[in-house]
């Protein structure tokens, strides 16, 4: 079931961003109540957006650190991964299927052709 969650922006009161999140349905039948009957307004997240995003930083840091240990370091490194926001857990790495997904692009330039 999808619902709106209000994430506070920083410590200031009143500044929020609304995020649509997917949450599992509570009912075992898988049936959902019609939208007009179940509307409760946005739920308030337990963390600020800043706090929620802190959850994914260690994964990015470790990946960048390991790629920095390559014998021949790339001129450019691009890492793409999905971040999913939830009401209870904050930010988590989004999955593609049953596995977390990182797309990594490394670029080396041939500097010898430019005289360098």
Q: How far apart are CA 89 and CA 112, in angstroms?
A: 49
Give the per-residue pLDDT at 3.
78
Full 3-state SS string of the chain: CEEEEEEECCCCCCCEEEEEEECCCCCCCCCCCCHHHHCCCCEEEEEEHHHHHCCCHHHHHHHHHHHHCCCCCCCEEEEEECEEEECCCEEEECEECCEECEEEEEECCCHHHHCC
- Residue range(s) defining the domain that contains residue 78: 2-114
Give the per-residue pLDDT at 71.
93
Domain count, the chain: 1
Q: How far is CA 87 from CA 5, 70, 112, in A?
A: 7, 38, 52
pLDDT 10s per residue in the chain (116 long)? 777 888 888 776 778 888 888 766 555 555 555 554 555 678 888 888 888 888 888 988 999 899 989 999 899 999 888 888 887 788 887 776 656 678 889 999 987 655 55
């Amino acid at each position: 079931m999808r619902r709106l969650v209000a994430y506070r922006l920083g410590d200031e009161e009143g500044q929020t961003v609304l995020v649509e999140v997917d949450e599992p349905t509570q009912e075992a039948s898988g049936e959902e109540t019609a939208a007009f009957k179940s509307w409760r307004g946005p739920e308030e997240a337990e963390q600020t957006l800043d706090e929620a995003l802190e959850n994914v930083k260690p994964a990015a840091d470790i990946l960048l650190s390991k790629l920095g240990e390559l014998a021949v370091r790339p001129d450019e490194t691009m890492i793409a991964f999905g971040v999913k926001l939830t009401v209870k857990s904050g930010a988590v790495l989004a999955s593609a299927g049953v596995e977390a997904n990182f797309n990594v692009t490394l670029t080396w330039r041939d500097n010898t052709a430019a005289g360098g």
